[in-house]
Amino acid sequence: MLVLTATLIVTLVALLLAERDMKSVIGDQQYALLTSAAAQVDAQLASRKVLLASLADTIPLDAGEDPRAMQAFVDRHPVARKEFLNLHLFTRQGSLLHTQGDHAAAALALNPRSRAFLENALAGGKTVISPPYKSVLTGLPSIMILQPVHDAQGGVAMLLGGSIDLSNAAFLDQVAAQKPGKGGFVFIMTKGGILLHHPDEKRLLEHINARPGYNRATEMALRGFEGWTEAANKEGSAGIYSYKQLQQTDWIIGARFPVEEAFASMIQMRHHAMLAAALFAAIAGLMAWRAIRDLLKPLDRLHRNVNDIRAGVADISVLQRHGAGEIGELSAAFHELMAEREAAQKAIRDSESLISSILERAPDAFVSCDNSGIVTKWNAAAERTFGYPREEAVGHDIADLIVPAAQRGAHRSGMLYFARGGSGAMLNSRMRLNAMHKDGHEIPVELSLGALRHDGAYHATAFLHDITERVLYEQQIAASEKRLRTVADSMPALIAYIDRDLRYRFTNEHFRSLLGLDPRSMLGKTVYEVLGAEFADSLAYHSQAALRGQRVHYEREGVHKGLKRQMMGDLVPDIGADGKVLGFYMMALDITERKNAELQQAASEKRLKLLTDNLPVLIAYLDRERKFQFLNHTFLHWFGIDPQTLLGRHAAEAIGTDHYYTAEPHLDRAYRGEMVSYELQARMGDRPHTLETTFVPELGADGEVLGIYSLTHDTTHMKQIEERLKHLARIDSLTGIANRLMFEEILQMSITRARRNRKPVALAYLDIDHFKDINDTRGHAAGDLVLKEFAARLIASVRASDSVARLAGDEFVIVFEQVSCAEEASRLAAKIVEAVRPPFTVEGMPRQVTTSMGVALHQGDEESAPELLARADSALYAAKRNGRDGYVIAS
């Protein structure tokens, strides 16, 4: 049956492939013939368009009004009578002449639809082919080719039309003669589906879908399809349809070739081939069955041996008894495979035994549960920890065994969530909680919870570590902290923790004995509230340094309640995990009565070390060989260099050759006994810094230089402040423009440029008219607003090369660069006066403000800046005498 089925399928597939190729050949041939027919129709229509165009070029323009002229024209062109059924003329006045047979007829009445089409064609001015219509004259299905006739000016004077009888057209008969086969036919329709040519003449001018039913090929053609396809007509008969669209008009030529006729030979060949294939397959199948039955006898024996091995009747050695050949090799392969399987199963059993032994001997309790909470694994450590033997635990709900009663509801909710997706907030994390012992007491445990998927369900695994001893240790730590509190309260030093708001969060008892303050009452209060503003201000510098992350050590003499005390304190920043300073620890000792010299020296050395390490100064000591013997911790803060790594190294090696070459001449002088200071630029982090270094020689008793102390300060901030102060000293703080100092520099530079470049400069001196009245009536605040607005208008009115400055009060000056003559200076001054006149807004009210101005042009090399300013000032007073709100050019 298998051979029969396979043979029939192969034969059928081969026949179908052959039929598909044959269909493709037939369809392509049919489409090629249809394409040739479409080209013939296009050529016929094109030739008729050309003929009609040549007639339109020669027709007299009066033929549209006179039937005799029309008749004479037709008589001169007998060829047109052969190609067209009738000739027509349609004028712009709406008259229609036509030829009927060989004679011209009078005007013909048109229906509104025809008149509208002809008017559109007349307006378009192009050759058009009309939709198919039933002729009024002949009653035949026809079309008309319309050609515009142009007048002398190139406009369309009328339309010349030639009608064609579709039922008797010779070129359509040529197309019909190319029908495929005996039962096939060719037809022509418009893109709108109107039939122009069809074997059934009754269907002419009828829509192709006028009859009920559906034809897929026709619908494809109406949507623009070209080519061939196989489809059933509306009667259900299959055929090969081909379609080609014409180029000259919107016609579609189609052809139908019945499938029964096209594939008759293939259908007959299919029946014969299938019958022959079935007969051949039956004979071959019978022979194959006999051969396979003989070939499979060893395989049947192998099958029986495998069943005997599975049943335990025989062992795998029976598989080695088969002889040579494929079955023998297969039997040997089965033997090797089963031997490997038994070895793998033994290895798995050994691995499971090992894992089970590891879990069994694990020091922590191991418990596994299914997704409903039923215990599936319970090791020896779990027996010891919780008191339940394995037999009592496995198969029971874990919640009833070790989960405290108060937590069972939350546990069961979590297990339901875990069962749905094998996830939960407690998975893959370690947490501390209490578990229940069999005897009812709770045990603190550390739980590590995991999940695994087995046989389509989730299982929870947990290691539980008994932390009873750790809890006892933590309790001991708490007790130790209590003892440390007692120790802190017993220490003869002030110990406190102060947060960023300078509020006390911890104080020891020594505050009471030393300062008479209740330590508990200090908590939550600020240093200012506890010690007073004066005392707190004296510590503010150290507190702010500690809050910036600096470790502070200080010694100071303070007065509290009239008593002088010498205090030594340390402020240690409390830096959080994010690097921010949360507060600082403070320890202060009363060292007033410290008399012991050794203790004083030790404290002094400690303070000195703490001071040098926390000072924002690089401190170092170089011996006679210029090797570092001491460096403070600031090297690490500034340059990231551990000072310990530089000890014993030469200065050139430690600080780099570039910096050493800069410092070397100053070091030479210091080793000669001079105290030397110099500045250099160095990078700290990603920014340049200005450093000032001072070398102080250490002199021995004999006057020899023993070494050099190096003190380096970061003066970058001070330099920036100096530059800022210099800038502020030259800017008027109220208006933001140049002040007198900067003006004097600008004027002197402008005069120098004028002398060098021989390009004159002019100076305007101006003030605000009646400014004192504004101050007296509106106040100085209003006056300041007027001054700022006045300065803004001056700046907006001058050129980019000019400079505006305020000298004092309401006195302003303007330096005009490159003013060639008095007329140009006059234009600039008038612009300034006009810009000031619009009302100012002062405290929400309009205020009329004007200005008086004196302008002086620089008179050359002989005139100095003060002389030029004096002449401008004189011109200003002249402007005031002239009535103000104006300007005067100094002579």
How would you write 776-841 as a 3-class SS string? HHHCHHHHHHHHHHHHHHHHHHCCCCCEEEEEECCEEEEEEECCCCHHHHHHHHHHHHHHHCCCEE
Copy the structure tokens of residue 242: 């081909």
Strand partners, 295: none
Copy the structure tokens of residue 339: 């031997």
Report the mean per-residue pLDDT for the chain: 82
Q: What's the gap between Cα 534 and its chain centre?
A: 57
Closest by alpha carbon to 553, among 518, 604, 602?
A: 604
pLDDT in tens, 830-860: 999 999 999 998 888 899 999 999 999 998 8
Q: What percent of the chain has pLDDT over 90?
A: 17
Confidence of residue 319 (pLDDT cuts 50, 70, 90): low
How far apart (Å, rounded) are the C-alpha atoms in residues 847 and 770?
A: 12
How far apart (Å, rounded) are the C-alpha atoms in residues 616 and 711?
A: 10
- Crossing angle of helices 264-295 and 297-311, in 10° steps, is 60
Report the pLDDT averaged over residues 622-628: 88
pLDDT of residue 105: 60
How far apart (Å, rounded) are the C-alpha atoms in residues 484 and 780?
A: 65
Confidence of residue 98 (pLDDT cuts 50, 70, 90): low
Q: 312: helix, coil or strand?
A: coil
In which element (H, E) is residue 403 found?
none
How far apart (Å, rounded) are the C-alpha atoms in residues 775 and 781?
A: 8
Copy the structure tokens of residue 853: 């101005």
Query: Which span out of 63-67, 230-234, 785-789 was modeled with the highest average pLDDT?
Result: 785-789
How would you write 858-872 as a 3-class SS string? CCCCCCCHHHHHHHH
Backbone angles phi, psi at 266, to 5 degrees: -70, -40
pLDDT of residue 59: 82
Q: In angstroms, what CA-CA distances link 335 with 188, 299, 316?
A: 79, 14, 6
CA 146-149-150 angle, to 5 degrees, is 145
In which element (H, E) is residue 142 found?
strand 141-150
Q: What's the gap between Cα 195 and its chain centre?
A: 61
Report the pLDDT averaged over residues 161-184: 75
More confident residue, 631 or 561: 631
Report the pLDDT averaged over residues 209-225: 88
pLDDT of residue 153: 81
Contacts of range 433-442, beta carbons closer than 8 Å, 24 or more positions apart: 433/407, 434/404, 435/385, 435/386, 435/402, 435/403, 435/404, 435/464, 436/386, 436/401, 436/402, 436/403, 436/404, 437/385, 437/386, 437/387, 437/402, 438/386, 438/387, 438/388, 439/387, 442/404
How far apart (Å, rounded) are the C-alpha atoms in residues 89 and 651?
A: 116
More confident residue, 16 or 830: 830
Report the pLDDT averaged over residues 128-132: 87
| Site of tokens 């050395």 | 605
How far apart (Å, rounded) are the C-alpha atoms in residues 112 and 83?
A: 28
Query: For residue 592, which amino acid is it?
Result: T
| Site of tokens 């215990």 | 375
How far apart (Å, rounded) are the C-alpha atoms in residues 662 and 678?
A: 9
145-159, 297-311, 694-708: which range is least confident on average?
Answer: 297-311
Query: Which span out of 16-20, 90-94, 161-165 was modeled with the highest average pLDDT?
Result: 161-165
More confident residue, 602 or 765: 765
110-119, 230-239, 476-485, 492-501: which range is least confident on average?
Answer: 110-119
Backbone angles phi, psi at 128, to 5 degrees: -135, 155
Is residue 607 within 8 A of residue 555, CB to CB? The reply is: yes
pLDDT of residue 689: 78
102 has pLDDT over 70: no
Report the pLDDT averaged over residues 517-532: 90
Report the pLDDT averaged over residues 731-736: 87
Residue 73 makes CB contacts below 8 A (sequence gap 6+) with 58, 59, 60, 63
How far apart (Å, rounded) are the C-alpha atoms in residues 288 and 278?
A: 15
Report the pLDDT averaged over residues 496-502: 92
Confidence of residue 879 (pLDDT cuts 50, 70, 90): very high
pLDDT of residue 114: 74
Residue 92 makes CB contacts below 8 A (sequence gap 6+) with 122, 156, 157, 158
324 has pLDDT over 80: no
Is residue 322 within 8 A of residue 302, CB to CB? The reply is: yes
Residue 308 makes CB contacts below 8 A (sequence gap 6+) with 314, 318
pLDDT of residue 837: 93
How far apart (Å, rounded) are the C-alpha atoms in residues 497 and 583?
A: 7
Confidence of residue 524 (pLDDT cuts 50, 70, 90): very high
- Crossing angle of helices 297-311 and 326-361, in 10° steps, is 20
How far apart (Å, rounded) are the C-alpha atoms in residues 303 and 309?
A: 10
How far apart (Å, rounded) are the C-alpha atoms in residues 421 and 398?
A: 20
244-258, 431-445, 478-492, 838-852: which range is least confident on average?
Answer: 478-492
What is the bridge-based pairing of β-strands 687-699 and 128-129? unpaired
How far apart (Å, rounded) are the C-alpha atoms in residues 666 and 655?
A: 15
DSSP string, 215-258: -HHHHHHHTT--EEEEEE-TTS-EEEEEEEE-SSSSEEEEEEEE
How far apart (Å, rounded) are the C-alpha atoms in residues 460 and 752?
A: 93
82-86, 343-347, 509-513, 825-829: which range is least confident on average?
Answer: 343-347
How far apart (Å, rounded) are the C-alpha atoms in residues 763 and 874?
A: 12
Copy the structure tokens of residue 221: 């053609």
pLDDT of residue 4: 67
Report the pLDDT averaged over residues 44-49: 84
Report the pLDDT averaged over residues 575-592: 88
Query: For residue 820, which amino acid is it?
Result: S
pLDDT of residue 596: 46
What is the bridge-based pairing of β-strands 96-100 and 103-105? antiparallel
pLDDT of residue 595: 42
